[in-house]
Structure formats: C-alpha cells, structure tokens
Amino acid sequence: MQISLVSPISNLAATRTYAEIDVLLRDARPWLYRLALAITTKPDMAEDVTQDALLRATRSRDKLRSAAEPRAWLRTIVVRCALTALGKAASLPFEDRAVIADPTDSVAVQITLARLDPTDRVLLALAHFEELSYSEIGELLEVPVGTVASRLHAAREAFRKEWRK
Amino acid sequence: MNNDPMDPLNAFYVECRTAPVPESLTTQQLPMPWWLRLSIPLGGLSFGGIIALMLIAGPKSDSERIGAEAAQAMARVQFDRVLRQSENVVTSRPPGHVRGEVPVGVQQMPWFESMEASWIA
C-alpha cells in the first residue's frame, strides 16, 4: 500500500488506520529530510531533526489519524524540531568555515545561511524550498500574513548582506 | 559567485530537493526484527550487538558469506537507527519517569503494541 504525500493525501478519509500512518511516515521521510536539510544546511543535523520529527509524529499518531492536512502537520513538526536544533547549535562555539579555499556557491550559501537567525533560515526555506504562500507560512508559524511578508523581506536582506561580506 | 545572492540560494534549495537521503532513514522501511524491537525499550543495545556478532561470525561458503555480509550491513544500519531512537527516548523522558519503565512515548509506538500483544499471548 502506497500513500502519496503529494496531493491525494489531503483528500483521504478523516480517520486513518495505524498501518496507513506508518506508510505515510515512511513515504514522508525523504521529503522531511530534505526540508530539514534546507533549513539546517547540515546533513547530520538534518538527519537528527528528521529522526526527532518522525519520533514525535509517531508519538502523536492519534492526531495524525484525523489531521486534515498531514503534510502541513508533518511540516510543522519538522520546522519546530529544526528550530530547536538550530537553537541548541547556536549555543555551541561558532564554526569558522570562512577559511574554506575557493568555496563553491553551494558551500558559500551554507556559510551565509549559518550566519543568519534560525527563524530567518526557516522563513527562507519555507518560501524558497517549500514554495509556500505567505498565508501558508503565517499559518505554520502562527503569525499574521503581513508579519510574514515583512520578516521574509528582512530575511532576504539579511542573507544579501551576509552574502556580500 | 553570482551578483544576485538569491540565485545561488535558490540553486542551493534545488540541490536540497534531490539530496540523497541517509540510508539509516530510508531503511526504516524494513521490518524491524523482534530482537531489535526488544532492545529499544530495554535499552539493550548490547543484546543487539551480540546478535549482530552472531550474524557476522562463521560464514563458510560464498552464499553464506554474502548472506552474512548483507545481514551485517542491515544490522549496522538498523543499529544506527536504534541508537538514535534510544537517545531520543532517553533525552525526552518525561519528568518523574523511572529508569527501567517503558516510556509512555514508546508504549504508544505501533511496534510496541504488537510486541506487547505477543508477550501477553
């Protein structure tokens, strides 16, 4: 039994069986990991975030049984887990990666994102990686749409500023 | 570097969309053997390690060796997962939880229910 997370999932019956939820979580793993990677930029941290998110989702599977939008539900969990992980990482000594010789754009992007506030990284990932609308981001982060627009603008400016350093 | 920072940023996100997913996550699709399930709530990774050593030890023929190598690879990946799950369970132990008891979160996992049912049976 395969349950796609792309679109039909939203139209499933309100109550899912535990077996369906297991399949749902299994199929969601690649997407969840890549979203975590887009936010954290570090594969190891993304893996931990994904594992944590899957564990939390498993524990809350009763909520997942009746969630109207399981994809949005899972996205919220992984974003919160990523924010927690980034918050913990921020308390660690800063990893000076500016010494990397001839960095590719990808590495340079990771270095630049690492200098940003975790919330800015989440906003950029949700807007550019997940391609969510302002209203969807606002719903996820529980902030007004206007706030999303202004904070996303600020996040982009922060990225540009750090990029030019 | 490009002039507009948003270009490499978007290129980075495109890379993320096709990033390889760690094996330890994708192999969770495999059914977990009962002894590995047992090792999680009991924190018995050493027990699982003994089983893994038994899997690795003593292959004679080529087919046995290939089978043992496959089992070894699977065990290694699954151990990585179990270790992570155990760490998560330990770090998320609720206040007042007594070591040795199965955490509530674990009790709610699907595999625990089936395991518990097999115990009762």
The pLDDT tens digits for A30-84 are 999 999 999 999 888 888 888 888 888 877 877 888 888 889 999 999 999 999 9
The pLDDT tens digits for B97-120 are 554 555 566 666 666 566 555 554
Domains along chain A? 12-92 (1.10.1740), 96-165 (1.10.10.10)
CA torsion sign, A97 to A99 to A104 to A105?
positive
- Which has the higher per-residue pLDDT, A151 or A50? A151
**Which of A93-102, B20-29, B56-65, B98-107: highest mean pLDDT?**
B20-29
Within 8 A of A128 by CB-CB distance, chain B residues are: 9-10, 13
A48/B89 Cα distance (integer angstroms):
13
Within 8 A of B84 by CB-CB distance, chain A residues are: 48, 51
Q: Residue A132: pLDDT band by 50, 70, 90 thresholds?
A: very high
Q: Residue A130: pLDDT band by 50, 70, 90 thresholds?
A: very high
> Counting Cβ atoms within 10 Å, is residue B41 exposed (0-12), middle (13-18) or buried (19+)?
buried
The mean pLDDT value for B28-48 works out to 53
B24/B22 Cα distance (integer angstroms):
5
Nearest to B17 among A34, A108, A163 (CB): A34
CB-CB under 8 Å, B1 with A38: no
CB-CB under 8 Å, B5 with A159: yes
Q: Residue B93: pLDDT band by 50, 70, 90 thresholds?
A: very low
Closest Cα of chain B to A58: distance in Å? 6
Domain boundary assignment for chain B: 22-93+104-120
B24/A47 Cα distance (integer angstroms):
9
**pLDDT over 70 percentage in chain A:** 82
CB-CB under 8 Å, A38 with B16: yes
Contact A148, A141 (CB under 8 A): yes
Contact B80, B25 (CB under 8 A): no
**3-state DSSP assignment of residue B109:** coil
- Which has the higher per-residue pLDDT, A8 or A103? A103
Assign residue B58 a region: left if phi > 0, alpha if psi is -120 to 50, beta otherwise?
left
To the question of pTM greater than 0.90 for the whole model, the response is no
Within 8 A of B13 by CB-CB distance, chain A residues are: 38, 125, 128-129
Contact A67, A110 (CB under 8 A): no
Which pLDDT does position B88 carry in this prediction?
Answer: 52
Average pLDDT, chain B: 61
Cα separation values, B107 from A16, A60, A126, B63, B90, Å: 20, 12, 33, 39, 14
Q: Residue B35: pLDDT band by 50, 70, 90 thresholds?
A: low
Which pLDDT does position A16 carry in this prediction?
Answer: 79
Per-residue pLDDT at B19 exceeds 50: yes
- Which has the higher per-residue pLDDT, B61 or B58? B61
CB-CB under 8 Å, B108 with A61: yes
- Which has the higher per-residue pLDDT, A41 or A93? A41
> Counting Cβ atoms within 10 Å, is residue A78 exposed (0-12), middle (13-18) or buried (19+)?
buried
CB-CB under 8 Å, A106 with B85: no
Q: Which of A50-54, A85-89, A99-103, B4-8 has the lowest average pLDDT?
A: A99-103
